Amino acid sequence: MTQKTAVHPAGHAAAPAKFSHGVRKGNILQVAGQVGFLPVEPGQEPVVAGPTLREQTRQTLANVKAVLEAGGASLEDVVMLRVYLTDTAHFAEMNEVYDEFFADLKEAPAARTTVYVGLPDGLLVEIDALAVLD
């Protein structure tokens, strides 16, 4: 039997329903949709990093990274990132932050899909990730 393990980074608020911020089974680590919430103390409500796309994208990617690392993986292991934006006009700026964030990547970059959806009020970006571990 292959164990399935929930991944919960220290600074992540409790999930608003019965799901895990990340889950690992065998060599697969799936990161749930992350948004721009700042790290919180246990029991605190999450707060968004700021109103701008830049602030939220940076924090969202940092949160993806936090889940990966709490699950024993790293950005290098990611094979897919799904980027959800709310406005096509945000694409170029999201890419700038994205490229800065992944500037030091040694392995091949992950694949990516970007689509434009609705998100809860005040959120401009959501990102999830699929990692395949060694």
Euclidean distance between CA atoms 36 and 127, whole angstroms: 9
State which of residues 12, 13, 21, 124 lies at the interface with its own copies (CB under 8 A): 21
CB of 25 to its own copies, least distance (A): 4
User: Segment near its own copies (CB under 8 A), from 38-46, 47-55, 58-66, 83-91?
Assistant: 83-91
Q: Does 120 contact its own copies by CB under 8 A?
A: yes
**From the CB of 126, what's the least distance to its own copies, in Å?**
7
Nearest to 19 by CA among 28, 9, 6: 6
Residues 115, 85: Cα–Cα separation, whole Å: 6
CA distance 28 to 6: 12
Choosing from 6, 10, 14, 47, the residue that interacts with its own copies (CB under 8 A) is 6
- In the shown chain, the binding pattern of residues 34 to 63 toward its own copies, with x for contact by CB under 8 A and - for none, equals ------------------------------
**Adjacent-strand bridge partners of 112:** 81
Packing angle, helices 53-70 and 91-101, rounded to 10: 40
Cα 39 to chain center, whole Å?
13
Residue choice 48, 55, 82, 93 for contact with its own copies (CB under 8 A): 82
Cα-only R_g, the chain: 14
Instruction: By CB under 8 A, name the binding residues for its own copies.
Output: 1-2, 4-6, 15-28, 30-33, 76-77, 79-82, 84, 88, 91, 95, 98-99, 102-103, 105, 107-121, 126, 128, 130, 132-134
